Structure 1
Amino acid sequence: MTDPARDRARLVVASMATDAADATDLLRALGLLDDAPTRRRAAAHGTHSGAVRHRQTGTRVCDECAEAERAYQREQRRRNPAAARARDARYREAHREEIKIRHRAAYARRAAAAREAAGGAA
């Protein structure tokens, strides 16, 4: 198997795993994991680095790591609001049409609920 194909196979198998240990076991059983020891320590769950490790291994981010990642991102935004505004502007520009559609639908739902609450009077 070529390296790119092997890498794709690793990603597919790792995405089916429930956690990093399960992914390692699956990859090793299928012969897709080199048995060379790694020097990286396991990232602790419930931390920003734990969330990063989940994404690197292709596993679902656990609730503890997701909460830690949200707290980390909130702190980063608080410490550097100019960078946060720049990221937000880039996101809005890249997803402008999607945002328009999403907000149009939300407005229509709110307007319909208001009409219904008013007794159907338009």
Structure 2
Amino acid sequence: STGAITITSIGGSKVEFPAHSGITVSPTSSVNTTQEYTFQWAGTDATDLTEKEITVALKNGSDETKVENIKVKLLPNRLDNLQITNQSTGISLSSVTATTATLTMPVIKDKQFTLTM
């Protein structure tokens, strides 16, 4: 599971969260006025991941007194028995691993498929 947020902040921005939260963010800070941050699980081989919610501080890069706290929630990222069925021509699932898969599909009206796990 990954999540992304775009922050617009004159002076840049910075993201902080509790140590040992099991979640990483990339990048952790930026001097850009607008920056997208991506949250994901820290590298793990665990098979018993559960939903996790943490409080994240979004700070202005040049004035850290300007701060907003948000909650970030990631869902377990294990794909078990992922299958595609009833797919129209041109739709496929490939490179399936325990945590990722690639879904290929054309953007055409009336194309459909079913994903199951």
Is the shorter-chain TM-score for this pair beyond 0.5, marking a shared fold?
no
**TM-score, scaled relative to structure 2:** 0.19
**TM-score, scaled relative to structure 1:** 0.19
Q: Which has the higher strand share?
A: 2
Q: Which has the higher helix share?
A: 1
Q: Which protein has the larger Cα radius of gyration, Structure 1 or Structure 2?
A: 1
Q: Which gives a bigger RCO, structure 1 or 2 (Cα 8 Å, sep 6+)?
A: 2
